[in-house]
Amino acid sequence: MAVIEAIETVYLEADAALIEFTSIPQTYEHLQLRISARQAKASESIECTIRLGTGGGAVDTGNNYYSHRINGWGTTENSGGGNALAYWKRLGPIVSGESVDAAQYGSGVIDIVDYANTNKNTTALAISGSALGATYSWIQFGSGLWDNTGAVDRIAIAAADYSNTFVRGTEATLYGLNS
């Protein structure tokens, strides 16, 4: 088996609210998600929101997700996070919105570590950003905790707060990592 294997690539040919990876094999040690995305919302930079699922069912919609971030936009340094939400909000990735040039797509890498272990809650970390815009050009490092020990077999990536759409041309690939 390859050390790093591409599990699935999604390349949107039309706008869509959700990108979902299902039936994720349990044969890897870690997962890595690489994304290049833009959302149809009047913003220069904007976060994606992520939910996880286990046991072959739907993603968890409970307030079981925690996330923190350190970020910079323009000349502002900031950190935030802490409270339980129904999805990872501050992990990232931060991508582009429609207030910047149409060709601009933000990008990021998310690592979901030891995702198949059923004795530990799931954690993730991400670096992402979108370097364009007069005010909200953005770089971010984020963390995520899912209060669930289930093996992750589903990942749903939604546009911000489950209320927007990804623009055509958005791309996401899920990789499995072995030692």
Partner 1 sequence: MAFPAYIDASTGVLTDGEAWVGIATTTLGSDTASVTFTSTDDGQVGDFSQYMDLVVITYGRTATAVTQDNIWMRFNGDTTNGNYAGQYLEANGSAVTANVEAQPIVGILPANSATANIFGSMVSHLFDVNSGKYKSSVHQSACDTDGSGYVWLHAMTWKNQSPITSVQVISKNAGNLKDGSMISLFGVLPRMVA
Contacts with partner 1 by CB under 8 A lie at 2-9, 11, 34-36, 70-77, 96, 101, 103-109, 127-132, 137-141, 169, 171, 173, 175
User: Which has the closest alpha carbon to 115: 174, 61, 173, 49?
Assistant: 174
Shortest Cβ 101–partner 1 spacing (Å)? 7
Pick 116 or 172: Cβ nearer partner 1: 172
Residue 99 is given by DSSP the state: T
Shortest Cβ 84–partner 1 spacing (Å)? 26
Instruction: Kindly state the tokens that stand for 79.
Output: 């950190």
CA distance 129 to 110: 12
Instruction: Kindly state the tokens that stand for 130.
Output: 């979108």
Pick 67 or 148: Cβ nearer partner 1: 67
Q: Is residue 161 helix, strand or coil? A: helix
Shortest Cβ 31–partner 1 spacing (Å)? 12
Pick 53 or 108: Cβ nearer partner 1: 108
Pick 10 or 85: Cβ nearer partner 1: 10
CA distance 58 to 56: 7
